Amino acid sequence: MNAAGKGTISRYKLKVRLGDTDMGGIVYYPNYHKWMDEATHEYLGAIGVPSSKLFSQQNIGVPLLESKCNIHSPLFFEDCVEVVSSVLELFNKVFKISHLFYKNDHIVAEGYEIRAWATFEGKLKTHPIPQEIREKMVGIESIQN
């Protein structure tokens, strides 16, 4: 849905910390998944639906169903990174969000997450993503039916 560059993107900037690296001095791979998680929550905030408010006011969360990351070039302590995120696919109760990791305007890693729209009342239950949020995800002001 967003492959042609249509739709909302968010930019999440971070600096690699010493604790993010392994004994070889490069970023330890699980950190990319941590940063994708953080970037997803930044994305939701950027479209006007911060995760904290979704959970506290509506008991809605976006549990992770799948995550994948390909690392093209290593990152090191104190590298400045920008994660650019956008929704690639949008289904009734699930969305796929892409994350591109940039260092000095070069893609150093890319990944995605598949997440559900769910309530946490007693037991986890998926729900349709509300239309107004779907419109924000794909960058459409309003959809005529």
**CB-facing half-sphere around the CA of 103: CA atoms within 13 A:** 15
**Under-70 pLDDT residues of the chain:** 1-6, 140-145
Are residues 8 and 42 in contact, defined by beta-carbon separation less than 8 angstroms?
no
Structure tokens at 56: 């506290």
CATH class of 9-138: alpha beta
Q: What type of residue is 80?
A: C
Domain-wise residue ranges, the chain: 9-138
pLDDT for the residue numbered 83 = 98
C-alpha 5 chain-centroid distance: 16
Helix, strand, coil abundance in the chain, percent, nearest 5: 25, 40, 35
DSSP state of 94: E
- Phi, psi torsion values for 83, nearest 5 degrees: -105, 120
pLDDT for the residue numbered 6 = 59
